[in-house]
Structure 1
Amino acid sequence: MQDALHPEYNEVTIELADGTEMTTRSTMETDTYETEIDSTNHPFYTGRRQFVDTAGRVEKFNRRYGLTDDDEESEETEEDTDE
């Protein structure tokens, strides 16, 4: 077998957003790891869901690329005249 094939497996202290700490083992090179997620704020545990506004995404796309409703209508009429 090869030497030094596997990474180091050290103890790491995990600090959650609500202030609780737990100790586990990991291949991370730090002694502590701070996370912004815990059972008090993650949607899986709280049951709160975020709904995506698809109309808002379309408007954002149009603003980003400088498209307006007039541009889309003119493209459609140009296609109709080509036939």
Structure 2
Amino acid sequence: MKEGIHPEYHEVVASCVCGSEVQLGSTTTTIRVEICSACHPFYTGQQKIVDTEGRVDRFMKRYRQDKKEAKTG
């Protein structure tokens, strides 16, 4: 390996806006993130699930109606 061309790799503390800190290895001096696994809704169990059942039911109802018209027509 060539000398002097590789970045220096050292221990860094990555901090989140929620106050959580994790020690990592990096070539940068500081790491700041807006969201982490301690405050992300997916990991905390506060994720909202989008209900698309109404759209699917409406599509199926329309599909069944078109299918019935094709058989009778």
TM-score w.r.t. the length of structure 2 is 0.47
